[in-house]
């Protein structure tokens, strides 16, 4: 009898953990991994024993953002993304909304441990998360890229600081890296919108691919290799690495122009995520 109760309780706990994980599952490849790599590279005083702090800080803040985002339009998710926790029936909208507000102080307390800059990044991130969702960021068109890039910059700052010793600060090189990363992200973020273009048109979302379909694709073809070259020059990368970096950026950009099916756009988006990791 006791073993049955224990098993049932363990299954219940495991289900709750899985539900929480599913809120962030789709951002593991596109955000968690790239920002973690960025933080480990940009940390001014890197300590291998602190490396786990970066993905921890990022994941908690991603959870905060995604819960706030996914309670906005659960009916749409039931049609387009039924595996998410709310449309899958794992958690109610009301419970998710309560969890959203719990995550704000949790993230702030976590950031308090890492120091002032992490606290500042967390505070700005929380404020922008509220703004993004109150304004329905998915329907904001051009300004969505800029706002999402700033959110990404906050993740990079917080994760970079968390990777170093407690109360450490991001240095000038790290600050430049955050600024450049945010600008690149703001000008290429629509790479993730091509695969959802058809659904976005049906639901009235305004993204670069729905507003300027041809121009958006050509911007990828020219923008990715140009940014690859510019970043190589700024960071003074050797000629061989620069060539490889630019060629890969050109390859990904050309894919977006030559192949425009949903399946091809999903694969191109994966290639874009790899280029973000390299950058």
213 and 161 fall within a common domain: no
- Picking from 175, 190, 205, the residue at the C-terminal end of a domain is 190
136 and 268 fall within a common domain: no
CATH for 63: 1.10.357.140
pLDDT in tens, 252-266: 999 999 998 988 998
Give me the pLDDT at residue 279, please: 59
155 and 21 fall within a common domain: yes
Question: Degrees (nearest 5) of the Cα angle 137, 138, 140?
Answer: 60
Give me the pLDDT at residue 146, please: 85
45 contacts 168 by C-beta, under 8 angstroms: yes
Give me the pLDDT at residue 139, please: 55
Chain centre to alpha carbon of residue 110: 19
Give me the pLDDT at residue 132, please: 82
Identify the band that residue 10 occupies on the pLDDT scale cut at 50, 70 and 90: low
Q: Give me the long-range contacts of 108-115 (CB less than 8 A, separation at least 24).
A: 110/56, 110/57, 110/60, 111/57, 111/158, 113/166, 114/53, 114/57, 114/158, 114/161, 114/162, 114/166, 114/167, 115/161, 115/166, 115/167, 115/168, 115/169
126 and 37 fall within a common domain: yes
Identify the band that residue 238 occupies on the pLDDT scale cut at 50, 70 and 90: very high
215 and 259 fall within a common domain: yes
- Picking from 128, 156, 190, the residue at the C-terminal end of a domain is 190
228 and 128 fall within a common domain: no
State yes or no: pLDDT of 120 exceeds 60. yes
Identify the band that residue 135 occupies on the pLDDT scale cut at 50, 70 and 90: low
Torsion angle of alpha carbons 178, 231, 147, 58, nearest 10°?
A: -40
- What gap in Å lies between CA 176 and CA 5, rounded to an integer? 55
The structure tokens listed for 127 are: 């404020």
Structural domain containing residue 42? 1-190
**What is the tally of structural domains in the chain?**
2
- What gap in Å lies between CA 21 and CA 24, rounded to an integer? 6
Mean pLDDT of the chain: 87
Residues in the chain: 279
- What gap in Å lies between CA 189 and CA 199, rounded to an integer? 18
Average pLDDT of span 121-128: 95
70 contacts 96 by C-beta, under 8 angstroms: yes
State yes or no: pLDDT of 94 exceeds 60. yes
Buried/exposed code over 263-275 (b: 16+ C-beta within 10 A; e: otherwise): eebeebbebbbeb
Give me the pLDDT at residue 6, please: 55
Q: Give me the long-range contacts of 90-97 (CB less than 8 A, separation at least 24).
A: 90/15, 90/18, 90/19, 90/22, 91/19, 96/67, 96/70, 96/71, 97/71
122 and 229 fall within a common domain: no
43 and 117 fall within a common domain: yes
pLDDT in tens, 178-202: 999 999 999 998 898 888 787 777 7
38 and 156 fall within a common domain: yes
- Picking from 190, 212, 227, the residue at the C-terminal end of a domain is 190
Question: By C-alpha distance, which of 68, 179, 60, 41 is closest to 109?
Answer: 60
154 and 198 fall within a common domain: no
Q: Residue 97: how many CB atoms within 10 A of its CB?
A: 13
Give me the pLDDT at residue 72, please: 84
165 and 97 fall within a common domain: yes
Q: Residue 14: how many CB atoms within 10 A of its CB?
A: 10
Give me the pLDDT at residue 107, please: 97
Identify the band that residue 140 occupies on the pLDDT scale cut at 50, 70 and 90: low
182 contacts 160 by C-beta, under 8 angstroms: no
Tell me what percent of the residues of the chain surpass a pLDDT of 70: 91
164 contacts 43 by C-beta, under 8 angstroms: yes
State yes or no: pLDDT of 249 exceeds 70. yes
145 contacts 190 by C-beta, under 8 angstroms: yes
279 and 153 fall within a common domain: no
């Amino acid at each position: 009898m006791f073993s049955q109760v224990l098993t049932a309780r363990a299954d219940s706990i495991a289900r709750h953990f899985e539900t929480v994980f599913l809120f962030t599952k789709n951002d593991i490849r596109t955000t968690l991994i790239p920002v973690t790599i960025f933080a480990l590279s940009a940390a001014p005083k890197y300590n291998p024993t602190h490396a786990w702090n970066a993905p921890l800080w990022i994941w908690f803040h991603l959870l905060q953002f995604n819960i706030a985002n996914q309670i906005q339009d659960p009916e749409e998710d039931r049609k387009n993304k039924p595996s998410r926790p709310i449309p899958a029936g794992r958690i109610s909208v009301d419970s998710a909304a309560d969890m959203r507000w719990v995550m704000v102080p949790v993230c702030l307390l976590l950031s308090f441990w890492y120091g002032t800059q992490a606290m500042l990044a967390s505070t700005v991130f929380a404020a922008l998360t509220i703004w993004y969702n109150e304004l329905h960021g998915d329907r904001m068109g051009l300004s969505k890229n800029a706002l999402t890039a700033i959110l990404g910059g906050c993740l990079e700052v917080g994760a970079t600081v968390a990777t170093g010793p407690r109360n450490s600060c991001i240095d000038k090189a790290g600050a430049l890296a955050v600024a450049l990363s945010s600008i690149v992200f703001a000008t290429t973020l629509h790479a993730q919108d091509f695969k959802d273009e058809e659904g976005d048109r049906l639901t009235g979302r305004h993204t670069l691919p729905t507003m300027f379909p041809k121009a958006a694709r050509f911007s990828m073809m020219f923008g990715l290799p140009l940014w690859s070259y510019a970043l190589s020059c700024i960071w003074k990368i050797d000629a061989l690495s620069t060539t490889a970096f630019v060629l890969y950026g050109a390859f990904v950009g050309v894919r977006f122009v030559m192949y425009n099916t949903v399946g091809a756009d999903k694969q191109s988006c994966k290639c874009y995520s790899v280029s973000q990791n390299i950058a």
